[in-house]
Chain A
Amino acid sequence: GEDVEQSLFLSVREGDSSVINCTYTDSSSTYLYWYKQEPGAGLQLLTYIFSNMDMKQDQRLTVLLNKKDKHLSLRIADTQTGDSAIYFCAESYNNNDMRFGAGTRLTVKP
C-alpha cells in the first residue's frame, strides 16, 4: 500500500519559522492536505494543494509541493505558542480514500 511519512517531532523558538516535511508514495494523488490537531480535539483543515501546483500561500502558511520527489512541506512563518499542535499530512485522489501520515508534533518554545 501507499504510505505517507512524516518526522514525529519538531521544536522551534517563538518567532522563528517552522518547516514540517512529508513524503508520499502514491503518484496518483490529486490533492494533498495539511491538518492541525490540538490536544484532545479533532483535526482542523489548514490548507490543501492540488497536485498540479508547486506552491500555495495563505497568510502565515506556505505549502510547497515537489511532485517529482513526492515531497510536501508546510512552512509556518513567525511561529507562535498557539501553533503548538500535531500536524498531519494527507493525500487523496477520490472521496473514498484519504491517507494520513502519523503526524508531526510541533513544540514552540517561548
Chain B
Amino acid sequence: DGGITQSPKYLFRKEGQNVTLSCEQNLNHDAMYWYRQDPGQGLRLIYYSQIVNDFQKGDIAEGYSVSREKKESFPLTVTSAQKNPTAFYLCASGGGRNYEQYFGPGTRLTVT
C-alpha cells in the first residue's frame, strides 16, 4: 500500500524545545518537500530535497532544519529559533515528469 506517512498527527511542545516531525514515503520518489500551512493561507515551502544527502531552502527556512539520509525519509526539525511554530505541517513527495506532488496527512504542531 504505497503512500506518504507523517507522524504524529498531533504534537504539543513547550516553547524553547526543538521538535522533529517524521515523513516517510514508499512511492520511490526522488523528491521530497516540507510545507507549512496557516489558516486561510496557501502552502509555503520550507525545505525540499531532490536527492539523498542534498536539500535546499524554500521560502521560509529560518528556524527549521532537515536531513535526507535515506530516499524514503525526510524529517523536519522545528527549532526554538522558529518564532511562530504553531501550524499545520505537510510533507510531500514527487519529482515525476509532470512535477506533481503527493501529500501526506499532515502534522498539527502546537507550541505553548
Q: Show the binding face of A for B, using Cβ within 8 Å.
A: 4, 8, 30-31, 33, 35, 40-45, 48, 50, 88, 92-98, 100-103
| Closest chain B residue to A100, Cβ basis | B42
List B residues 71-112 near A (Cβ within 8 Å): 90, 92, 94-95, 98-106, 108
* Interface majority SS (helix, strand, loop, mixed), chain B: strand
Indicate if the CB atoms of A95 and B94 lie closer than 8 Å. Answer: yes
Size class of the B contact interface (CB-based, 8 Å): 20 to 34
Which of A42, A43, A88, A94 has the most C-beta atoms of chain B within 10 angstroms of its own C-beta?
Answer: A42
Indicate if the CB atoms of A42 and B40 lie closer than 8 Å. Answer: no
Q: Does B22 contact A (CB under 8 A)?
A: no
Q: Show the binding face of B for A, using Cβ within 8 Å.
A: 4, 6, 31, 33, 40-43, 45, 48, 50, 56, 90, 92, 94-95, 98-106, 108
Indicate if the CB atoms of A45 and B106 lie closer than 8 Å. Answer: no
Contacts of B40 in A (CB 8 A): 8, 102-103
Contacts of B98 in A (CB 8 A): 31, 48, 50
7 pairs of residues in contact across A and B, judged by CB atoms under 8 Å: A8-B40, A43-B92, A45-B101, A48-B98, A92-B99, A93-B99, A103-B40
